[in-house]
């Protein structure tokens, strides 16, 4: 589980990225393709072509961190890319759902109380 500080924005990079890239390659994607600062302290989330693998790039103030996850079953929910270099901003709750393999765009509530009291 990743704890996202309240002042950190989460940017979902639309489209598929080359999952062979590491810290340097992904930070270059952030800088050159997404036109953002990889050292801003924000999180940048990338998805592989098969949609089963994601990587999260994050600058914590002293160095770059790289988190990765591969789903054994299912695929990560990802919006379509209207243009190259586009991003979608997620809330920390939406990032948590994404990492768990839940469709963060329309989560379903499984239970609702019928009566109060």
**Residue 6: count of CB within 10 angstroms of its CB:** 5
The secondary structure element, H or E, covering residue 27 is helix 23-32
User: What are the backbone dihedrals phi and psi of residue 9, each rounded to the nearest 5 degrees, phi first?
Assistant: -95, 150
Range(s) of the domain holding residue 53? 10-99
**Any domain includes 18:** yes
For 70-116, the pLDDT digits (tens) are 988 888 888 876 676 788 898 888 888 888 888 887 766 666 677 88
Distance CA 81, CA 64 (A): 26
Read off the pLDDT band of 30 (50, 70, 90): very high
**Any domain includes 26:** yes
DSSP letter assigned to residue 111:
-
**Any domain includes 76:** yes
Q: How many domains does the chain have?
A: 1
User: For strand 10-13 and strand 87-90, is the pairing parallel, antiparallel, or unpaired?
Assistant: antiparallel
Read off the pLDDT band of 41 (50, 70, 90): very high
pTM across the whole model: 0.84
Strand partners, 46: 55
């Amino acid at each position: 589980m990743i704890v996202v500080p309240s002042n950190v924005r989460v940017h979902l990079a639309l489209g598929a990225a080359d999952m062979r890239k590491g810290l340097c390659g992904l930070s270059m994607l952030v800088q050159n393709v997404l036109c953002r600062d990889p050292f801003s302290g924000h999180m940048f989330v990338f998805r592989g072509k098969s949609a089963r693998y994601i990587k999260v790039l994050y600058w914590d103030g002293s160095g770059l961190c790289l988190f990765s996850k591969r789903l054994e079953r299912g695929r990560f929910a990802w919006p379509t890319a209207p243009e190259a270099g586009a991003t979608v901003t997620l809330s920390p709750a939406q990032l948590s759902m994404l990492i768990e393999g839940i469709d963060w765009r329309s989560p379903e509530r499984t239970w609702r109380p019928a009566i109060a009291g």
